[in-house]
């Protein structure tokens, strides 16, 4: 019986429910940690109960009641009052799913800084420990723990509500939630430094996106985000070769792709199309659906989708990605013209793309220069090795 996986799966759910019952994230975390400590002792003898989440919630609640009786701070009195107000709650229901949704909107509140949003989401909903988050973002543990402490303090002091925003607020409040999940996934997929993949972060992002999609099945952008993550995740097994080297989409062995995830992603994209309320995540999901459909990519369709995406999100990064499709449809010269004006400071994929286009146009000297620039900017080892390899294969 793997207690770690039970803890990882139940932590966020239990903290979310206890936060509602106690009205305070810090007290909720303490109570859940207390309950896990009891579980560790008890379950090693008796094995885990049938519904570990319900057991943890009940135990945490009892522990919190005991603890609050001994304390007399303002928070403790407030929490005690809240607990008394909810006496009729059936004991064994366990974690309530809406609580998770509340908590994710609290964690990703726009009044918190982006790093605090991400760290808090991973800590509270993902159940990741501070050192794990610090490792993933390559920042000192003290930085992450200060951010988390400060964010929790601000939530309490400034009165950030523990509530799912109303329909009218959603257009402002949903995007930061989706951004946080996407950033967590991306950090796991192309780590900014060190080795290429950090599977645990991606898996966590997929798990949270799945939970969000179950909780908000009528929000097409939520479904779009989940589809996008699944369709990228599906190609992971083919993305790195036997020696740890990066394999481009065109060169990937498609038989290694995860067919189940692709089918699920395609199904979600079709559901989005039927809703006909397109948004940036849905379009990116559609692009990845085209990449994973049949035996080769229909680039004309990809370009059409990028045209739509560029209208909705006219950023230089989208323009750069669109140029890759332009190269396939209209040739490298047209693509090079399309990226000529772009300026994305510090982003290695701009010179990398320019280098590739120049190489295809048989302009090796300029390509070499662009590859050098890209190598200098690339953060992770695998991407750097890939670029050096390309550079080495340039015609002299």
Quote the least distance from Cβ 177 to other proteins, whole Å.
Answer: 15
Quote the least distance from Cβ 84 to other proteins, whole Å.
Answer: 21
Closer to other proteins by CB, 169 or 365: give it. Answer: 169
Residues forming a β-bridge with 194: 380
Closer to other proteins by CB, 109 or 291: give it. Answer: 109
Spatial distance between the Cα atoms of 172 and 226, rounded to a whole number of angstroms: 19
Spatial distance between the Cα atoms of 39 and 56, rounded to a whole number of angstroms: 8
Where on the chain is the footprint of other proteins (CB under 8 A)? 109, 111, 157-161, 163, 165, 169
Spatial distance between the Cα atoms of 346 and 342, rounded to a whole number of angstroms: 12
The two three-digit tokens of residue 259, written as one number = 């067919």
Quote the least distance from Cβ 103 to other proteins, whole Å.
Answer: 15
Quote the least distance from Cβ 213 to other proteins, whole Å.
Answer: 24
Q: Which residues contact 148 (CB under 8 A, 6 or more apart)?
A: 116, 119, 120, 123, 130
Q: Helix H segments across the chain?
A: 3-22, 25-46, 52-70, 74-85, 97-107, 114-120, 130-137, 141-157, 170-189, 199-215, 220-233, 236-239, 259-275, 280-291, 299-312, 316-330, 332-339, 349-360, 364-377, 381-392
Torsion on CA atoms 156, 162, 165, 166, rounded to nearest 10: -120
Closer to other proteins by CB, 75 or 298: give it. Answer: 75
Quote the least distance from Cβ 23 to other proteins, whole Å.
Answer: 12
Closer to other proteins by CB, 161 or 331: give it. Answer: 161
Quote the least distance from Cβ 294 to other proteins, whole Å.
Answer: 47
Closer to other proteins by CB, 169 or 296: give it. Answer: 169
Closer to other proteins by CB, 106 or 284: give it. Answer: 106
Spatial distance between the Cα atoms of 310 and 307, rounded to a whole number of angstroms: 5
């Amino acid at each position: 019986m793997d207690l770690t996986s039970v803890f990882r799966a139940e932590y966020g759910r239990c903290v979310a429910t206890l936060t509602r019952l106690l009205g305070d994230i810090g007290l909720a975390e303490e109570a859940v940690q207390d309950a896990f400590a009891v579980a560790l002792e008890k379950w090693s003898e008796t094995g885990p109960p049938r519904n570990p989440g319900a057991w943890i919630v009940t135990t945490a609640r009892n522990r919190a009641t005991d603890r609050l009786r001994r304390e007399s701070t303002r928070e403790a009195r407030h929490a005690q009052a809240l607990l008394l107000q909810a006496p009729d709650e059936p004991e064994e229901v366990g974690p309530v799913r809406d609580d998770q949704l509340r908590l994710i909107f609290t964690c990703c509140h726009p009044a918190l800084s982006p790093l605090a949003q991400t760290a808090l989401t991973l800590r509270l909903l993902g159940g990741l420990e501070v050192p794990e988050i610090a490792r993933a973002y390559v920042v000192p543990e003290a930085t992450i723990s200060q951010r988390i402490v400060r964010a929790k303090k601000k939530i309490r002091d400034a009165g950030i509500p523990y509530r799912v925003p109303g329909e009218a607020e959603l257009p402002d409040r949903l995007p930061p939630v989706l951004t946080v999940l996407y950033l967590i996934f991306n950090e796991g997929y192309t780590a900014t430094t060190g080795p290429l993949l950090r599977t645990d972060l991606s898996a966590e992002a997929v798990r949270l996106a799945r939970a969000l999609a179950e909780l908000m099945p009528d929000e097409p952008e939520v479904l779009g985000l989940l589809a996008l993550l699944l369709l990228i995740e599906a190609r992971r097994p083919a993305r790195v070769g036997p020696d740890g080297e990066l394999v481009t989409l065109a060169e990937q062995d498609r038989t290694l792709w995860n067919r189940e995830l692709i089918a699920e992603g395609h199904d979600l994209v079709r559901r989005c199309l039927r809703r006909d309320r397109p948004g940036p995540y849905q379009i990116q999901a559609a692009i990845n659906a085209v990449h994973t459909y049949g035996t080769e990519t229909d680039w004309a369709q990809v370009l059409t989708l990028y045209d739509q995406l560029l209208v909705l999100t006219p950023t230089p990064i989208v323009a750069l990605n669109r140029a890759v499709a332009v190269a396939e449809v209209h040739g490298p010269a047209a693509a090079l013209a399309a990226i000529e004006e772009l300026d994305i400071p510090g982003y290695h994929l701009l010179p990398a793309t320019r280098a590739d286009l120049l190489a295809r146009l048989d302009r090796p000297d300029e390509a070499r220069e662009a590859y050098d620039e890209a190598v200098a900017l690339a953060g992770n080892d695998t991407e750097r090795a890939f670029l050096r390899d390309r550079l080495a294969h340039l015609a002299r």
